[in-house]
Structure 1
Amino acid sequence: MKGRMILLDHIGAVEAAVLMIDGQLDDLLVDSETAPRPGTIYRALADRPIKGQGGMFLKTPDGSAFLRQVKGLSPGQPILVQVTGYAEDGKAIPVTQKILFKSRYVIITPDAPGINISRSIRDDDLRDALLEIAHGVIDGSDMGLILRSSCADADSDDIASDIETMAALARAVMADTVGPAEKLAEGDSPHTLAWRDWADPAQVVQDKGCFAQNSVLEQINTLASPRVPLAGGGALFIEPTRALVAVDVNTGPDTSLAAGIKANMAAARALPRQLRLRGLGGQIVLDLAPMPKKDRRAFETSLRAAFRSDQVDTTLVGWTPLGHYELQRKRARIPTKEVLT
């Protein structure tokens, strides 16, 4: 099965979307039955400041939220916030005041005026045409607009319609500042996220049962195991704990002098996909196979290249005194294991 395929179905009763590339599971979006989706917008009420942490707890219809800001806020004050990711077990919902309205072709930025175009669109004539479309719809607005890379192959009427729809939503939500705690906009579901973010050409399958018919469930079930085979006979072991995600790299049966660097390079290439599919974020610690310090730069280069195309924000922090490598990754997805169990 060659090429890109997007499948929209359910795992049990839970909505899910899958991206397959050449028959291999490349990305997986799974809904949460309990936690609010990232992108959800609330009119929240300031509750109490936590000065030691530089933030404030807020009241929302879905429970307590945490905002990393205290200045200018007083208890009982209404404030518009947006969910940035999934909370760790027992912790408050993470939110921000920097609200964005994302769609397939555009991102509306209410607090950042101006029109910007994705840097991946380099054709000057196309950029001028896109600016003309944007000015024709949003001129005179105090909101900002980002035209996404998907605009490069889109119909001008579709782009204009998307801008108009998202700008209207943004105006309505940003004006709704008075009242009790309330959910003003729901975050996108997995099917909508697939339409929004997987914009490259692909065959789209929406038939009920399409996961089972295309061997998707078998590949998803392998995610329940911490072991990930690597090219060359090595393996990754990915094990989330309450504090962090531990990743161990083993060389397997290879006993050559270059076994360590080969296994570590293979792990660097495989890691972004595995973290995506497993929905893992937070602090990630890599316990790499033994390799000389002179090979660290090549490993970092490979790791940086692997994460460059990943859509989840990941910071490559660096080496620890014990020789581990640390990353910090946004908790943008629900852990897949919670759905599988």
Structure 2
Amino acid sequence: MKGRTIVLDHIAGREAAALMVDGQLDDFLIASDAPPPGTIYRARADRPVKGQGGMFLTTPDGPAFLRQVKGLAPGAHLLVQVTGYAEPGKAIPVTAKLLFKSRYAIVTPGAPGLNLSRNIRDEAERDRLLEIAHEEMEGHGFGLILRSSCAEVEGEVIAEDIAAMIAQAQQVLEDDGKDCETLIEGDGPHVLAWRDWTDPAEVVTAAGGFEDHGVLDALERVRGIAEPLPGGGHLYIQPTRALVAVDVNTGSDTSLAAGQKANFACAKLLPRVLRIRGLGGQITLDLAPMAKKDRRGFEAALRAALKADSEETTLAGWTPLGHYELQRKRGRVPVAEALS
């Protein structure tokens, strides 16, 4: 099936959203019991962590950890926002830099200024959007980022989106409560799909959509460890408590360039493989044998593939044993964990 299809449904009693591109699962979001990224708390500072410059906080959902703390005394209350999912047994990662994010606009109370997505390159369109931004933000001390999805969208629609985020930011910042409390719940999969999957697509909301559009079959493959590569090779993806190990296997390809071809195919495929499985943290690639002169090309291919990915990923580089390491934000719940 050609084209893009967004399927909104439920699985295992959880809200979920799938993005199918040309009949292949390209992205998948599923709700979990953990607080989702974007959740905003009024939290209480608990105890500092010496040597790390951080502070443990008390929230309604359990302990949280805030990095780069200055001038914060134990017992003080502050607003924080969840940035990702915690590893089992660890504190919820949070930040004091709040973002109010919607389909077209991101309001940034702590970072004044008006900014447009770099993906909007047409000067006339940029001028139009800046005019809308200046008009809507007049009299507010907040910052604003207009996302790439604003391109060619009616000004009234963008203005309404900006106004909604301003109102939400004001409501949170003007809150004068004294106890630990959840002020805003993070967006669920259906809202995230509307917010972030903005390219034109057919949207399916009828019950049973996952079965009708092949999502359930795709998820069966996702719950396994093998992912086929062009040319007969495979990736084997195995999450452990410490890291996610990815083994590149050339399979039936016995040519001299088999390792190079499999590794470059891995670079192209890896962002989708991690994305649809909801995997993050430390990623270690055990690549197929290839000449050292090809390493730079592999890194360039991987960097290019990650540009279009939604999760922040840092390329850490090569280890003495020839493995390649990445550090990926834990912005999603692991699918296998959510469906277990």
For residue 51 of structure 2, give the secondary structure of its aligned residue in structure 1.
helix
CA distance in 1, matches of 2:293, 2:192: 42
Map residues 205-216 of structure 1 onto 2, 5 A cutoff: 205-216=204-215
Matches within 5 A, 1:134-149: 134-149=133-148
Structure 1 residue identity aligned to 2:274: L
Structure 1 residue 125, shift from structure 2 partner? 1.4
Work out whether residues 43 and 177 of structure 1, in 8 Å CA contact, stay in contact via their aligned partners in 2. no
Partner of 1:27: 27
Match of 2:240 in 1: 241
Deviations 1:210-232 (A, max 9, x none): 11111110101111111111100
Pairing 1:267-306 to 2, within 5 Å after superposition: 267-306=266-305
TM-score, length of structure 1 as denominator length: 0.98
1:39 aligns with 2:16: no
1:11 alignment counterpart: 11
- Shift >3 Å, 4+ stretches: none
What does residue range 1-341 of structure 1 map to in structure 2 within 5 Å? 1-32=1-32, 34-341=33-340
Per-residue deviation, 1:178: 4.1
Q: Structure 2 CA distance, aligned partners of 1:23 and 1:251?
A: 25
| Structure 2 SS opposite 1:53 | coil
What does the per-residue CA deviation read over 1:119-153, in whole Å, with 9 as the maximum and x for residues that have no partner?
Answer: 11111111111111112211021100011110003
In 2, the alpha carbon distance for the partners of 1:211 and 1:199 equals 20
Question: In structure 2, how many angstroms separate the alpha carbons of the residues matched to 1:161 and 1:53?
Answer: 42
Report the 3-state secondary structure (helix = DSSP H, G, I; strand = E; otherwise coil) of the residue aligned with 2:288: coil
Question: 1:81–1:99: 8 Å Cα contact kept in structure 2?
Answer: yes
Q: Deviations over 1:84-111 (max 9, x none)?
A: 0000000000000111000000000001
RMSD: 0.9
Count of residues in correspondence between the two structures:
340
SS at match of 1:233: coil
Alpha-carbon distance in structure 1 between the residues aligned to 2:128 and 2:68: 40
Q: Secondary structure at the match of 1:153?
A: coil
d(CA) in 2 for partners of 1:177 and 1:37?
Answer: 24
SS for the counterpart of 1:52 is: coil
CA distance in 1, matches of 2:110, 2:220: 43
Is the contact made by 1:78 and 1:177 (CA closer than 8 Å) also made in structure 2? no
Q: What is the alpha-carbon distance in structure 1 between the residues aligned to residue 176 and residue 56 of structure 2?
A: 18
Residue 254 of structure 1: how far off its partner (Å):
1.5
Report % sequence identity.
Answer: 66
Contact conserved, 2:284 with 2:325, CA < 8 A, in 1? yes
* 8 Å contact kept, 1:49–1:57: yes
Measured in 2, the distance between the counterparts of 1:68 and 1:199 equals 32
Deviation digits for residues 246-275 of structure 1 (CA, Å, limit 9, x no counterpart): 111011121211111011011111110010
CA contact (8 A) 1:312 1:329 kept: yes
